[in-house]
Chain A
Amino acid sequence: MPTYGFAVDLRKCIGCHACTIACKAEHQIPVGVNRCWVKTVEKGVFPETRRFFFPVLCNQCAEAPCVRICPTNALFRRRDGIVDLNGASCIGCRACMEACPYDQLFIDPNTHTAEKCNFCANRVENQLLPACVSVCPTECRVFGDLDDPSSEVARIFQREAFMVRKPEKGTGPKVLYLGAEESVIRPEASVRPLYFKEGSVHLRPVGAPMPDVEDPGEPRVDYDVPHGKPWGTDMVLYLLFKAISTGAMLVAALLWRLGIDGPLATIAGPALSIVFVSLTAIVLVIDLERPERFYYILTRSNWRSWMVWGAYFLTAHGALSAVWLAAGWFGWDGVLDWLVAPAVVVAVLATSYTGFLFAQGLARDLWQGPSAAIDLLAQSAAAGSAALLIAASFGGAPAAGALPVLGATLAIAVTAHLLILIFEHLLAPSPTQHHELATATIRTGAYARLFWGVAMIGGGLLPLALLVIFGATLHPLVTSLAALLTLAGGAAWEYIWVEAGQSVPLS
């Protein structure tokens, strides 16, 4: 079985865009999206100026992160190494777009499923070269079998000084570039203007950290087709709702375990958990491009995808919350005793898996941080405590000792969350320039006001201070205010985490 590879001799590329259009024609690609395109960068000071052309297409990675994250096995690796996509299985979760470090996936506005370059597998099976190769006026594109030593692409792979895009991602890209210049192959190396050489910029991620720096000679992108942010507010709501749900359950279990057996632990906690896990599910389904296919995640599960595990964790978490509520309602204390351990374990899993899921979003360096799973737990505990504190203020006199425990968990959780933010996003050196650019948007860029004003101070230090100074009074006004501020701070951070992570161009 062959292993197909591709090489682009950039020295021969004249930036004519024939490949782009041939691809569009072959695959009927709608306006606004591309399987392949030619990025252009201008560099140098007159008269030593140069323009570089950089055709991008799918790398058909040996370790394809899109295949790993795809929950329904819609993305798959063929035996010939081509990473292909079966639209019939795609639910449109856009996770693949977060996983691909090369910005090579998009949602087809006709089918509302993901789409990507597949080396024209439909042509390859007819022994035809991919459309972009066949059309290329200067034959700068080379396609062939990497396993066949006599093929041109194998020769290049063995003998030539080629480069690949983002080798540090460890994906095993199979598109080799000859004569690549750093400013084109590394997206972080060029500034991004608000206006291109031949027109306006289609999608410029909000908060993109690289404005049009009028510094003569600095590499600047003249043309590119970056994608917008695949994940938006729905993911923020998902994070918030899920944190409340799992947190409520965790804190309820804690209260029960501590013997504080009032309705907060037996009714309010599980009820909140059920309500918010349901909301989580609703948000997740609505967020799909093909919501009617949501159940594919359970029927066509890809067990390498944390999204699939998450679906099961959330289902289990919802089920345990329901059992907990029933037991609490009917006073089956023995059942509750027995449920504590599984409920906690499942809630922790349902909380933390998201850290691993986001980390499977290999494109986003910000999400690769080591402490996301732990931070999610802290956020969850804070959100759960906050939710129960608010519930307590409505529900008359809570069981003795409940409020101090909730106050304490809130304070501890917020403290932990803040410490993680400070260590991971403010103090720790960025491992990559991409990461640095993302954190810069948080520290000083587009998200700085929200970060400092709400995530750190208003929704972090302020509730903490309230609890420390006035916590002893356990006045519902104080606890509710602190709880609300905490939820706001948590939501703000979740928004920043989702958005800032996606603000760095990938191509």
Chain B
Amino acid sequence: MIHNSQCTIGKPMSDFKSHPDPSEWDNYVDYESTSWPRKERRRYWIIPSICFNCESACGILAYVDQETLAVRKIEGNPVHPGSRGRTCAKGVVTPNQLEDPDRILYPMRRAGARGEGTWQQVSWNEALEDIGGRIRRAIVEGRRGELMYHVGRPGEDGYANRVLQAWGVDGHNSHTNVCSSSGRLGHFLWCGADRPSPDYANARTILLLSSHLETGHYFNPHAQRIVESMASGGTLITVDPRLSNTSAKADLWLPAYSGTEGALLLAMARILLEEGLYNREFLRKWVNWRAYLAALRPDLPQEFDSFIVALKEEYARFTPEFAAAETGVDASKIVEAARAIGRAGTRFATHNWRAASAGNLWGWQITRCLYLLVVLTGSLGEVGGMNMHVTNKFVPRHPNPPPPPEYWNELLFPREFPLAFHEMSFLLPHFLKEGRGKLDVYFTRVYNPLWTNPDGFSWMEVLQDTEKIGLHVALTPTWSETAWFADYILPMGLGTERHDTMSQETHAGQWLGFRQPVLRVAREKRGEHVEATYEANPGEVWEENEFWIALSWKIDPDGSLGIRRFFESPYRPGAQVTVDEYYRWMFENSVPGLPERAAKENLAPLAYMRKYGVFQVSDKTYSRAHERPLTAGELAGTSRDSLGETVLDGAGAAAGIVVDGAAVAGFNTPSRRLEFFSQTMVDWGWPEHAIPRYVPGHVHWRDLDRAGGEFDLLPNFRLPTLIHTRSPVKWLYEISHSNPLWISTADAATYGILTGDLVKVRTRIGYFVTRAWVTEGIRPGVLGMSHHLGRWRLNEDRGAPRVASALVRISRDDRGRYVMKQVHGAQRFESVDPDSGRIWWSEVGVHQNLTFPVQPDPVSGMHCWHQRVHLEKAAEEDSYGDIVVDTNEAHTAYLEWMRGTRPAPGPEGLRRPLWFDRPLRPVAEAYKVEPRNR
């Protein structure tokens, strides 16, 4: 809470405007700041777009110089309802990315062996012919399963998925399992939606197991609203063993030992229950308490009051004292936090996403415990409470939707992980090593698995193996460690160089953002005809929208495969669809209210979106779908269960629920209720996890041999200035360029470590050497290290941005282990940008992820990021950035973790519960184990 009676947020500051008015955007005259105080006037087109640097989809404005067609600067788009004219550092730094002397400007094909680093420039047509032909052969020969599109952060909604669907390929792979699987599963089990949309701005108490004041989805829009709440008296509580910037702003910082968060949250739940601070009516109406009582408490009268009794008994042991002993957080603070939540009532908002749930085995149980607080307060769908993302994220229909794929790709969803959210992306190298399949064409798209994922050397091994991966195509705006091992590097545009639509659940509203290639738009404003976006972008940087259309036509030039028709114009039958036509159709047909709004300004819907870059679908939307009465049509043919509380469809499955006599839709869960008790978990072999419960993580502090130098390494925190591999640019790196190891003062004293000293951190499969940063901002026993730094390259001049990477040499030692040595860090270099000669930092971090084995949670499939490590002072012969890894040991570790899984089939011979969605969902038939995977 900011103790300030005079909140300034939202008030007009003065006569000054934050941005030029949209009426001026077509011809904005600005004073050039660099020649100030001489008044040199420049004319700009201000063209809106969407930032492409994280998933927040903040609106941006590009100032395109009418004379030079240069993008002078990027600002926030004031019309955008999510970001409201503001951006974070990563948004305004976009011009650095556009003008990065190390960016890739032309399509390139590998010239030597894969990974050797010799490239030759090719034309787009050559690349399309080659790749398209290869994909065609795979499809014709019935090898669709060997095609895979692996995306990091999509930065768009639905376009690429539709392409794969059009090809009939179950080949969508993602980064979700290194990011948010356990955040999603825990949420999904409760309510059938895999993530929340907190209404921070109106919340009275905000509990974050995340660090949304500095990072994460959706940092900038969320930070605005969290601070808004604080400025009007809201209380911010954070749970994090590390003093994040968010925790630094919190009223209460609860630095629980990692993996013990569940105990903390259940202690809060217990206080809400014991002190009567829960929302009785909400629980009674919406929670599947009856199923719980029937399954686990048949001894009690099967009525609502028993549920409360049972809950109290269930969590009786989570007294503040117990939680304090388990988590290390003062009991009084736990009580204070719980009461702040209780006081907030339905104005309680919370989030976790990564952090604890992504860090720990059973992290999805932490999410469930957290959501228990949401349910107890009844804040779901309330002002200042919690929405589901589906309420606030708006994804329009794309034109001409193709049918879903007809088969199941077990490289994505293997049987061991029937409940995974989602594709088991980070296990791919091990799957390929085990011979579970191979890939003929593998697209990595703005994705750097070798660097971002754990166990990068195993990735390097399979990426180098042309038997396992036939053709690797890297679609990327910049160099990456992964692209180095590609056969084609195809440069794709940044936030101002491409078309996409995007929406996110930033607040209790709904909007649709439109990304555009601003230089193309500018040229068209000048009256020029632009055939393909790469003609307008720097070099021949293209955009994926046009690339996929062109590639699909190469795959099916005559339409005989039935693919081409999905890439034909809705307005000119048989002709190749243009991007203009694609979005024209979308904006005219599937964005409610947009055509009318555009007409008010005498604009076509597409012209409206080009002008404003965003459309607000709704300014206030709360998750109330569960209260929607079922229509007569929906009720036709239904029956009621024996208690008359559930609406059953013809097949006997729940189709709705009866609340106080009215048949309503309920939630997208099998019971149509909020599932405190999950029959799915029981049915799929995890009966002990039927309800939210506390299970310590895989690196529990009590198990650590502290005297022997064992620590819990928290390796998954982020910085406000960087995102993984898209932000290695000069202005950000001069602020944040290294990721020293956070170590508490007490621990440092034990080992005689001072800030700046070299330390060696051993993991199960190897070690790394880095510098220590001694702080009071981390719990003793826990080490912290940001995973945003430590970029490297194998060639002096290319392979990763030189401003941000170390030149390394990789060799094998006599035990076959990989040994990475830094030759030098960032250095000055000559380029068109004089700033290249002003690089003053050299150490650019250490790539810790290389030394982590894969640790898949057996249920959610989340990579459990926390590492049990051994810490020691570096020896004489150790140097900064040294990394040693044994990939055989990594594979052994993989096999051990795999042994913890409980494979499909589940009930009815299913690979996955039918109600568990997939990002690209195949036909229902494919959910069955038989017929066999093709």
Contact = CB atoms under 8 A, between A and B. Distances in A.
A122 B85 contact: no
Given A51-B248, A217-B776, A145 B75 contact: no
B731 A21 contact: yes
Q: Please indicate which of the listed interface residues A27, A53, A118, A135 has the most CB atoms of chain B within 10 Å of its own CB.
A: A135
Given A200-B843, A214-B745, A25 B93 contact: yes
Dominant SS among interface residues on chain B: loop
B507 to A, nearest CB: 13
Interface string B238-264: 000001011011000101000000000
A403 B372 CA distance: 96
B255 A18 contact: no
Given A16-B219, A21-B92, 6 more contacts: A9-B8, A16-B223, A18-B89, A137-B220, A137-B223, A199-B841
Contact of A135 (B31, B86, B95, B246): B86
B734 A129 contact: no
B93 A21 contact: yes
A50 B16 contact: no
A212 B88 CA distance: 31
Contacts of A18: 86-89, 91-92
A404 B219 CA distance: 78
Interface in B718-753: 719-721, 730-732, 734-740, 744-746, 748-749
Interface in A1-38: 9, 11-12, 14-18, 20-22, 24-28, 30-32
Interface stretch (B117-125, B607-615, B703-711, B767-775): B767-775
A26 B75 CA distance: 9
Interface stretch (A40-48, A246-254, A266-274): A40-48
Interface residues of A, number: 81
17 contacts: A12-B2, A14-B245, A14-B249, A20-B89, A21-B731, A21-B732, A31-B731, A49-B775, A88-B38, A133-B18, A134-B18, A139-B8, A139-B10, A145-B14, A152-B13, A197-B773, A212-B755
B62 to A, nearest CB: 12
Contact of B11 (A126, A127, A135, A152): A152
A20 B735 contact: yes
Contacts of A399: none
A79 interface: no
B73 interface: yes
Interface stretch (B106-114, B682-690, B832-840, B901-909): B832-840
B87 A135 contact: yes
Nearest to B227: A138
What are the 6 tightest A-B residue pairs by CB atom distance, in nearest-first order?
A51-B248, A144-B14, A198-B736, A138-B227, A122-B31, A199-B738
Given A9-B8, A18-B92, A198-B735, A47 B720 contact: no
Interface in A120-172: 120-129, 131, 133-140, 142-145, 148, 151-153, 155, 159-160
B778 interface: yes
B8 A121 contact: no
Interface of A: 9, 11-12, 14-18, 20-22, 24-28, 30-32, 42, 44-47, 49-53, 84-86, 88, 109-110, 118, 120-129, 131, 133-140, 142-145, 148, 151-153, 155, 159-160, 178-179, 193-195, 197-200, 202, 212, 214, 216-217, 223
Contact of A27 (B33, B245, B778): B33
Interface string B1-39: 011101011110111111110000000001111101110
B754 interface: yes
A138 B4 CA distance: 15
Given A47-B253, A145-B14, A212-B754, A135 B76 contact: yes
A27 B843 CA distance: 28
Q: Please indicate which of the listed interface residues B220, B227, B786 has the most CB atoms of chain A within 10 Å of its own CB.
A: B227
Contact of B775 (A32, A42, A126, A178): A42
Contact of A51 (B87, B777, B786): B777
Contact of B776 (A15, A31, A44, A195): A44
B243 A199 contact: no
Interface in B765-810: 771, 773-780, 786
Contacts of A137: 86-88, 220, 223-224, 227
Given A25-B73, A126-B30, A194-B756, A46 B778 contact: yes
A27 B72 CA distance: 10
B832 to A, nearest CB: 14
Contact of B738 (A24, A26, A121, A200): A200
A197 B92 CA distance: 23
Nearest to B842: A200
B127 interface: no
B74 interface: yes
Contact of B16 (A143, A155, A198, A216): A143
A159 B755 CA distance: 43
A195 B756 contact: yes
Contact of B737 (A17, A124, A179, A198): A198
Q: Please indicate which of the listed interface residues A27, A32, A195, A199 has the most CB atoms of chain B within 10 Å of its own CB.
A: A199
A355 to B, nearest CB: 33
A194 B755 contact: yes
Contacts of B86: 18, 134-137, 139
B8 A31 contact: no
A195 B771 contact: yes
B213 interface: yes
Contacts of B2: 9, 11-12, 179
B37 A84 contact: yes
Nearest to A144: B14
A129 B838 contact: no
Contacts of B87: 18, 135, 137
B794 to A, nearest CB: 23
Contacts of A135: 75-76, 86-87, 92
A125 B38 CA distance: 13
A406 to B, nearest CB: 49
Contact of A17 (B6, B219, B735, B740): B735
B33 A110 contact: no
B166 interface: no
B214 interface: yes
A25 B736 contact: no
Contacts of B748: 214
B135 interface: no
B332 to A, nearest CB: 12
A84 B87 CA distance: 27
A216 B778 CA distance: 12
B213 A14 contact: yes
Nearest to A203: B840
B231 interface: yes
Q: Please indicate which of the listed interface residues B86, B214, B231, B754 has the most CB atoms of chain A within 10 Å of its own CB.
A: B86
A129 B737 contact: no
B34 A199 contact: no
A268 B245 CA distance: 67
A266 B547 CA distance: 87
Contacts of B735: 17, 20, 198-199, 223
Given A26-B73, A46-B779, A120-B33, A198 B739 contact: yes
Given A136-B86, A160-B6, A200-B841, A124 B777 contact: no
Interface in B210-227: 213-214, 219-220, 223-224, 227
Contacts of B732: 21
A26 B16 CA distance: 17
Contact of A152 (B14, B85, B213, B231): B14
A143 B13 contact: yes
Nearest to B838: A31
Nearest to A141: B13
A146 to B, nearest CB: 11
A143 B13 CA distance: 7
A133 B75 CA distance: 11
A211 B178 CA distance: 40
A215 B265 CA distance: 34
B213 to A, nearest CB: 5
B754 to A, nearest CB: 6
